[in-house]
Amino acid sequence: MRILVHDYSGHPFQVQLSRELARRGHDIVHSTCTAYVSGKGDLTSDTAGLRFVTIGDGTALRKEAYFHRLRQETLLGFELARQVRREKPDVVMLSNMPIPTLVVTTAVLRRLRIPWVLWHQDVTAVALKTFAAADVAKAMGVAAKVFEAGEKWSARRASAIVVIAESFVRVHRQWGTAGKVTVIPNWAPLDEIVPVPRDNAWSEEHGLTGVRTVLYSGTLGLKHNPVLLVRLAERLRDRGAPVRLVVVNDGPAVPVLRRAAADAGIELTLLPFQPYERLPEVLGTGDLLVVLLAADAGEFSVPSKTLSYLCAGRPVLGLLPSDNLAAQLLRQAGSAVFPPLESSLDDASAWAQEVLADPAHAESLGKESRALAEREFALEDCAARFEDILRAVSRGSAR
């Protein structure tokens, strides 16, 4: 099959899936968006049958300028549609796309009669409703209704839908699309994100060798409360266990973190997203890795950074809803999960202090993390399931 996979974000495990499908003999075009700033996977072509392309001119999305962003995301949809026309795939798979981009692409795929699969990573409509109810932005109340209509319309026109957790199925029942849904949890590339020594070249370059660190690496958006990271470091200092807070991120949380750390007198190292090939060293530098997810975001998001943390073989502290899939994985690995609230930080910091003070216990937790990842993230089974879905969709179109 000739397959076009568009993962707007360029995340590592989507790239890994494309490589595996190419190894299985398929002709894969893997498309990403340069406008979305995040940690990227290995977007270099080293596999026969795999080619990487992009949309966007490199101009980053202005996330807080809503009308400008709407226009930009709509234009990106038309650019992706032109890319589809050029590549002439048998089947398309779309992932992590903003609703305007998704709607435009769906309309063009329908007109071209190209079957496609929606790989549903976040239910955007549910997220916007939650934020509107929380008065994050009053305009989101109207936007939520419009975007839900667009997201539902697109889902109904997909030939098949892959969701990352059972909790997503409820939304698709409401939309009338549950009959074509398959649940395939996300994973992380075991062969690319591997445990490395705590003291490594990256930690040396950034003055973190021999410094006790609490590290966060990944996106920090509306579904996170970044100040909790500073408050956690503050609690640890008050307990007599001072740490260097290390945050690897580009985005609106950076100035928020800088101000909060300055006000609290917390040592903070802020760095932009690092090259993907250095991610094992980045994560290995954390004596404790932290995952954040807001209390009302659990049903529509599974933070993929958790999966990378587990692969890296480090102890992990989760500040996230207890019923989230990531929380379930952390508990299986022996790590701790607490509600993402400031009132939980006393208990969270007490657990963190115990781990940081006991290297043998920390090492044991790290080994459990890696062992769980090796049990859960087998690529062969996931790739076979995706391959079956794509083949069925392509053959269904031919019939």
Domain ranges of the chain: 2-187+378-398, 201-376
Q: What is the pLDDT of residue 398?
A: 41
Beta strands in the chain (DSSP E): 2-7, 27-33, 50-55, 91-95, 116-120, 160-163, 181-183, 213-217, 244-248, 268-271, 288-292, 316-319, 336-338
Supply the pLDDT for residue 300: 64
Let me know the angle formed at the C-alpha of 349 by 346 and 352, rounded to the nearest 5 degrees.
Answer: 155
What residue type is assigned to position 263 of the chain? Answer: D
Interior/surface letters 342-357, b for 16+ CB within 10 angstroms, e for the rest: eeebeebbebbbebbe
Rounded Cα–Cα distance for residues 330 and 119 (Å): 24
Instruction: Select 201-376's CATH number: 3.40.50.2000, 3.20.20.70, 3.40.50.300, 3.30.750.24.
Output: 3.40.50.2000
Rg value, the chain, Cα: 21
Alpha helices (runs of H) in 113-209, residue ranges in sequence order: 124-133, 139-157, 167-175, 201-205
Taking the chain, what is the end-to-end CA distance rounded to the nearest angstrom? 15
Q: What is the pLDDT of residue 399?
A: 37
Ranges in the chain, pLDDT < 70 = 61-66, 125-143, 221-223, 296-300, 397-399
- Span 247-294, pLDDT tens digits: 999 878 899 999 999 999 999 999 999 999 999 999 999 999 999 988
Q: What is the pLDDT of residue 86?
A: 95
Superfamily of structural domain 2-187+378-398: Glycogen Phosphorylase B; (3.40.50.2000)
Domain 2-187+378-398 and domain 201-376 have a common topology: yes
Q: Give the per-residue pLDDT at 310.
A: 96
Q: What is the spatial distance between Cα 290 and Cα 336, in angstroms, rounded to a whole number?
A: 10
Alpha carbons 196 and 279: distance in angstroms, whole number: 10
pLDDT at position 70 is 86
Query: Would you say the C-alpha torsion 173, 178, 181, 183 has a positive or negative sign?
Result: positive
Model's pTM, two decimal places? 0.84
Q: How many CB atoms lie within 10 A of CB 217?
A: 23
CB-based contact 310:333 (threshold 8 Å): yes
Q: Are 20 and 45 in contact (CB under 8 A)?
A: no
- Bridge partners (DSSP) of residue 270 are 247
pLDDT score of 58: 73
